[in-house]
A and B are shown apart, each in its own frame.
Chain A
Amino acid sequence: MSAQPQPRPDPAERLAAAFRERRARLPGAGLAWLEALREQALERFRAAGLPARGDEDWKYTDVRALARRLAPPAAGPGPVAEDAVRALAFEGLEAHRIVLVDGFLVPGLSALGALPEGVTVMGLAEALAREPQALAPWLRLPEGADGFTALNLAFMTDGVWLRVADGVALERPLQIVHLRSAAPEAGAHLRHVLTLGAGARATVIETHAATAEADVLDNLGCTVALAAGAALDHYVVRESGAGLCHVGRIDVRQEAGSRYVSHNVTLGGRLTRSAIQVELAGEGAETHLYGAYVVGGRQQVDNHTRIEHRTAGAVSRELYKGVLDGRARGAFTGRVVVHPGAQRTDAEQANHNLLLSEDAEADSRPQLEIYADDVKCSHGSTVGELDETSLFYLRSRGIDAELARSLLVYAFASDVLERMALEPVRVQLERRLTAVLLAGREAEGVI
């Protein structure tokens, strides 16, 4: 006797039904503007659906793999051992720590400590209960939002709101730990809002990990707003195991003289789709986007960045480096748009890839669109293999082939990490990178 396969409901209908069933219990329920936003977002999702095959922007993302894992949020966080959180701390780094499990802030695992005057750190759900009006301007459905972003806004269960008042510096970094418990089949739809007032400074470190090999999807949105002269260092580190998929989109808006530095590191996860969109809206704003992706097996990483120079005299620097082993695929699409009137724009963009196996693949698409004449723009991209001569040189000094390979790979990727201002984060990632490369080999003394 063979069971007839159940016809699978259309994922969009399934999610829409879950939304209707769930919306009265989502945070901020009862706030008219928020309910309207969630409805609008769901409508967008139903209209836009998930990106179709042939959508240029999603050419290098396996949307079907994501669609299979796309699920409504869990009812609450699953159990997570405190050890798992401790393992994600950076040695020697004093940080304000917030822990989110399965898409929900868990106060018992968080350790916020004392915050300076003028700094607010709050869960998004709590903020919607206490200060909804302060958040309202930052919760918007972006123009042309894709299905994932739309769904994120419809379902968002929690996240972190960081607000730093004018002229205030958050000296210790804020670490946002994202964990997945073993609880299966739930999506996490999180949204962070990071707003810095004029001249304010902060450092935020997002780490992503899964305590179990859960075959699930994290759908993350983040809004960053930097007022004039504000400075944010923003680290995103993905070290999840082989099951977890990430979709993340960060929208940054920068006013005059502000500075945004992004370190976007992917060392794990089944599939990572990362998008960073930066609006350089004020004169002399500066943005630095650095990325490293080091993956193997059947892992996939698809990095998208878009930098809009909308004003004169803004600076953008971008360097992404990929190391791809096994049958891994890594893609980089970086668009820099220099709008009319954005004179004295200074933009540099580079993407370099190292293929360690014949079956690995790298796709690199740097794209420049320039509508101003007095600009300095450059871009470059390479895909290469390990240099045999260098390998022989190291081996001829007694260094074995495996270590020689790791050293060269490490050397290739390390100049991205070198730009990290936070030494404990840099050192630990260098170690992790080496460990990934040496695959279990004694990593001590390699650096």
Chain B
Amino acid sequence: MLLEIRNLHVSVEGKPILRGIDLAVDAGEVHAIMGPNGSGKSTLANVLAGREGYEVTEGEVLYKGRNLLEMAPEERAREGVFLAFQYPVEIPGVSNVYLLKAAVNAVRKHRGLPELDAMDFLKLVKEKIRLVRMDEQFLYRSVNEGFSGGEKKRNEVLQMTVLEPTLAILDETDSGLDIDALRIVSEGVNSLRSPERAFLVVTHYQRLLDYIVPDKVHVLAGGRIVRSGDRTLALELEKRGYGWVLEEAGLGAGAGPAA
């Protein structure tokens, strides 16, 4: 099993947000996570990436059999965990190309590979940037600074395709994308799909799952996974909304975090 989440409880500032998540993702799989606003999807994604400010009060997370929660964020990244942020961060003064180069070489160094020189690196990046159909000029701009919402999301996908992660977590990467961009982003993901890699795709829209066909779909509500199924679950949610799932799970229609 690539990723195993067992009975994960997480609080933020003393407030319980995740209340017993169990999830197992095998290499080669794509899991979609859906659920109402505020149900804890980004919290889960951030905890997996190692963001500070989250207190794990119970449970464990194993990644490649190792205790993921003990690893520093950069170590997780070097071991192949990648989070595409719901809200990508603007970093004035640090160029996109520099960030990519530092990231690629950090990962390569960790794997015992020689660092890429400027030429090989640019060749690699230019190939990937064509894949996500971004203008090369974006490489020389500051990270996400002044990017439109959709450009930021594409930039996340660019980073992902350059870093070739083992476990990619996409937090609403489809939100704010136009129809063409949605297809391009999906192609980026699909180009990476392989028996060694897994994807955790957080989304509100079943439409994305037409392009990135998931093996499993989970509904996160009230800090728990209240229902899991195959891709037909997403279609059903699209038609009927969350009400019936929440009712069956004994949750009110509010569906946000536990009070």
- Chain B nearest Cβ from A4, distance in angstroms: 59
Interface size on B, residues (CB 8 A): 32
Query: Could you say which of B13-21, B91-99, B211-219 contacts chain A?
Result: B91-99
Chain A 384-424: CB-based contact to B (< 8 A → 1; otherwise 0)? 00001110111111111101100110111011000000000
Inter-chain CA distance A401–B77, complex, in Å, is 12
A397 and B52 within 8 A (CB):
no
A392 and B106 within 8 A (CB):
no
- Chain A nearest Cβ from B175, distance in angstroms: 18
B107 at interface, CB cutoff 8 A = yes
Would A399 and B106 be within 8 Å (CB), given that A388-B52, A392-B73, A393-B85 are in contact?
A: yes
Main secondary structure of the interface of A (DSSP, over half): helix
B73 and A395 within 8 A (CB):
yes
A393: chain B residues within 8 A (beta carbon): 85, 88-89, 91, 143
B85: chain A residues within 8 A (beta carbon): 393
Would A411 and B74 be within 8 Å (CB), given that A393-B85, A399-B102, A399-B103 are in contact?
A: no
Interface residues of B in 134-153 (CB under 8 A from A): 142-143
Inter-chain CA distance A398–B165, complex, in Å, is 11
Interface residues on A, range: 20 to 34
A398 and B89 within 8 A (CB):
no
B173 at interface, CB cutoff 8 A = no
Inter-chain CA distance A394–B93, complex, in Å, is 13
B78: chain A residues within 8 A (beta carbon): 398
B163 and A407 within 8 A (CB):
no
B83 at interface, CB cutoff 8 A = yes
Inter-chain CA distance A447–B107, complex, in Å, is 19
A398 and B107 within 8 A (CB):
yes
B92: chain A residues within 8 A (beta carbon): 411
B51 and A392 within 8 A (CB):
yes
Inter-chain CA distance A398–B74, complex, in Å, is 4
A411 and B93 within 8 A (CB):
yes
Would A395 and B89 be within 8 Å (CB), given that A388-B52, A408-B94, A411-B94 are in contact?
A: no
B223 at interface, CB cutoff 8 A = no
In the complex, which of the residues B52, B77, B93 contacts A398, with contact meaning CB atoms closer than 8 Å? Answer: B77
Most buried by A among B98, B110, B159: B98
B99 and A395 within 8 A (CB):
no
Residue of chain B at shortest CB distance from A413: B93
B91: chain A residues within 8 A (beta carbon): 390, 393-394, 408, 411
Inter-chain CA distance A352–B38, complex, in Å, is 36
In the complex, which of the residues B74, B93, B101 contacts A410, with contact meaning CB atoms closer than 8 Å? Answer: B93
B103 and A397 within 8 A (CB):
yes
In the complex, which of the residues A394, A401, A412, A415 contacts B72, with contact meaning CB atoms closer than 8 Å? Answer: A401
B222 at interface, CB cutoff 8 A = no
Would A401 and B74 be within 8 Å (CB), given that A410-B93, A411-B91 are in contact?
A: yes
B107: chain A residues within 8 A (beta carbon): 398
Inter-chain CA distance A389–B87, complex, in Å, is 10
Chain B 211-244: CB-based contact to A (< 8 A → 1; otherwise 0)? 0000000000000000000000000000000000
A408: chain B residues within 8 A (beta carbon): 91, 94
B50 at interface, CB cutoff 8 A = yes
- Chain B nearest Cβ from A157, distance in angstroms: 42
A392: chain B residues within 8 A (beta carbon): 49-52, 73, 89
Inter-chain CA distance A390–B94, complex, in Å, is 11
A394: chain B residues within 8 A (beta carbon): 91, 94, 99
In the complex, which of the residues B77, B93, B110, B143 contacts A396, with contact meaning CB atoms closer than 8 Å? Answer: B77
Can you pick out 29 interface pairs between chain A and chain B where the beta carbons lie within 8 Å of each other? A392-B50, A392-B73, A394-B94, A394-B99, A395-B50, A396-B49, A396-B50, A396-B73, A397-B74, A397-B99, A397-B102, A397-B106, A397-B159, A397-B163, A398-B77, A398-B110, A398-B163, A399-B74, A399-B99, A400-B106, A403-B102, A404-B74, A407-B102, A408-B94, A411-B91, A412-B93, A415-B93, A445-B101, A446-B102
| Contacts from B to A (Cβ < 8 Å) | 49-52, 72-74, 76-78, 82-83, 85, 88-89, 91-94, 98-99, 101-103, 105-107, 110, 142-143, 159, 163
Top-10 shortest CB links A-B: A411-B93, A398-B77, A398-B106, A397-B103, A395-B73, A393-B89, A395-B74, A411-B94, A398-B78, A398-B103
